[in-house]
Amino acid sequence: MSMKIPLVPENLKPLPRLKENEGMLSWVASVDHKQIGIMYLISTLVFFIIGGLEALVIRIQLAQPEFDFISPEVYNQMFTMHGTTMIFFVVMPFLIGLGVYLVPLMIGARDMAFPRLNALSFWLVIFGGILLYYSFLTQSGPSEVGWFAYAPLSEKPFSLNKGPTYWALGLLATGISSVASGLNNIVTILTMRAKGMTMRRLPLFVWMILVTSFLLVFVIPIIASAFAMMLLDRLLEATFFTPAHGGSAILWQHFFWGFGHPEVYILVLPAFGIISEVIPVFSRKPIFGYSFVAGSTVAIGLLSLGVWAHHMFAVGLGNVANLYFSLASMLIAIPTGVKVLNWVATMWGGKIWFATPMLFATAFIIEFVIAGLTGVAVASVPIDWVVTDSYFVVAHFHYALFGGSLFAIFAGIYYWFPKMTGRMMSETLGKWHFWLTVIGFNMTFFIQHFLGVMGMPRRTYTYHDFPYWGSMNLISTIGAIILALSVIVFAWNIRRSLKHGEKAPDNPWNAWTLEWYTTSPPAVHNFDLVPPVRGRRPLWDLAHPDQLDEPNSKVV
């Protein structure tokens, strides 16, 4: 396949030069995938801090029984905005943005297939975020109905404020953006690979982005249509989800989770991709079972489409439906387990180098396995009936999304920061960040398993002074404060490293994928010359022509 040069106006100066003030216009008007990728990452960092502060407010309110730090309405707004922000404006755009930055570099292309569409995707996320947060300025504030906005609570007359309308409009804009970036990624990965970069040699991160993109393209329209229906209900008095007028509240749940469960894998598959890049490099071994890692991703993507009603066991769909959705959900544990085994087998017998990216990657495996174990538990109907809508579930999905996605995101930031900025991040601060995160995270969320089993419901403003509830909640809140400290250390590390960090060589981790072949930061045109790709580790092959990964491969 030939290298195609998209018709994009060349920037006059090399990018990105964060140490120089080049003016906002060169960023705002940019269609360069590296600049857009970096803008994605910066804006998700801002949303991460906002969403984190909202979480902190929640935890302070819950620090002791019968506390009234904030009003119940504000409490509801906080957990709604925290969930929505973290899912749609932090984890999703971060992983998409990282993909936008890395995919063209990893496959040896000049840019994405559709650079202007790429810019549109980014600005739609910002537009959606502004729409969502604009609701703070309306008379009765933002949405109070939780991130899955169950009907009829999200409908008139139960929510007369404008919050849910802004919420749905904002998420609709982000949804369009996600479909656009999914389409862009698919076409880029399928048509713009460098010579010799066959699908079987594609870096695993790119594989994961490809599967995620297919999920985006086929799953986001489900929620987009549901948002459209919800908006019609709220604005034109349609009756889709209002049982009082012949509509169906359960239909919203089916539509929401039809999107919502695959969404979980949209949030975690690219994270698997980051882990699959970091672990081999820091274990100094090629990935164990490449095709199993790629293949199990496809299996997860397909399975994720048929398990949505495990979020609805408490609805009463009948034993047959419950049995099917329970078994299908448990099946997902198989391809996920395959991945965990592959990562561990890659580390097994390797020369492990615990730099900060590897610390986060290793912790990711442990935390994510905990999320997987509680996940299999709640996939079982009787257990789900006991713990559904309790703090057990809160603990479970925070282990998946924080212990899973976010730990991988941190690993990815420490790993690729030198490539993006030309500076190394501080290892000392990185280790502080890591240990504070591990301690704070587990302190906040592990204890919530027990609170959930003891019957503490989620989304309740406060609780009675039952035995141990106060002290257990206080422990959780102290953990959240440690987490806040860890974020301060992390933000400080970024700021300090941007200015004074050690200059990064082209390939500081001695990695093997193509993005490490070009300069740090890469030139506008990415590569002067894309090296021949004759295996899965092009830079290894280049350095060791006598020990090729695929000994009989020819230079194309």
- Binding-site ranges for another protein (CB under 8 A): 4, 113-114, 179, 182-184, 186-187, 190-191, 217-222, 224-226, 228-229, 232, 236-240, 245-248, 251, 255
Report how far residue 37's alpha carbon sits from residue 42's, in angstroms, rounded to the nearest whole number: 9
Least distance (Å) between residue 87 CB and another protein: 20
Instruction: State the residue for tokens 């199990």.
Output: 296
Catalytic site includes residue 261:
yes
13 part of the active site = no
Answer yes or no: 311 catalytic. Answer: yes
Task: Tell me the closest approach of the beta carbon of residue 414 to another protein, in angstroms.
Answer: 34
Closer residue to another protein in complex, CB, 228/352: 228
Closest distance to another protein from the beta carbon of 238 (Å):
4
> Is 284 tagged catalytic?
no
178 catalytic? Reply is: yes
Torsion sign across C-alpha atoms 356, 483, 164, 460? positive
526 forms bridges with which residues in the sheet? 523
Comparison of 219 and 281: residue with beta carbon closer to another protein: 219
Task: Note if 310 is an active site residue.
Answer: yes
**How does DSSP assign 130-189, residue by residue?**
HHHHHGGGSTT-S--STTTT-TTTTSTTT--SSHHHHHHHHHHHHHHHHHHHHHHHHHHH
Q: Which of 154, 336, 356, 518 is catalytic?
A: 336
- End-to-end alpha carbon distance in the chain: 10
- In angstroms, give the least distance from the CB of 106 to another protein: 19
336 flagged as catalytic: yes
Active-site residue flag, 188: no
431 is catalytic: no
- In the complex with another protein, the residue whose CB is nearer, 66 or 237, is 237
For another protein, the closer of residues 114 and 446 by Cβ is 114
The smaller minimum CB distance to another protein, of residues 228 and 542, is found at 228
Catalytic residue among 40, 75, 147, 414: 147
Residue in the structure block whose two tokens are 């984190």: 52
Residues of the chain by 3-state class (helix, strand, coil), percent to 5? 65, 0, 30
- Min. distance of Cβ 171 from another protein in angstroms? 15
CA of 356: how far to CAs of 235, 300, 408, 438, 509, in Å? 50, 28, 11, 12, 11
Whether 147 is catalytic: yes
CB of 254 to another protein, least distance (A): 9
Distance CA 154, CA 241 (A): 9
Query: CA-to-CA distance for 109 and 96, rounded, in angstroms?
Result: 17
Query: In the annotation, is 111 catalytic?
Result: yes
The rounded distance, in Å, linking the Cα atoms of 271 and 268 is 5
Kindly name the residue from 195, 285, 431, 458 that is annotated as catalytic.
Answer: 458
Burial class (CB in 10 A: 0-12, 13-18, 19+), 518: buried
Give the active site residue among 201, 261, 396, 534.
261
Which of the following is catalytic: 80, 85, 178, 374? 178
> CA quadruple 228, 230, 235, 238: dihedral positive or negative?
positive
Q: 90 vs 168, which CB is nearer to another protein? A: 168
Select which of 33, 34, 59, 82 is catalytic. 82
Residues annotated as part of the active site? 82, 111, 147, 177-178, 261, 263, 265, 276, 310-311, 336, 339, 458
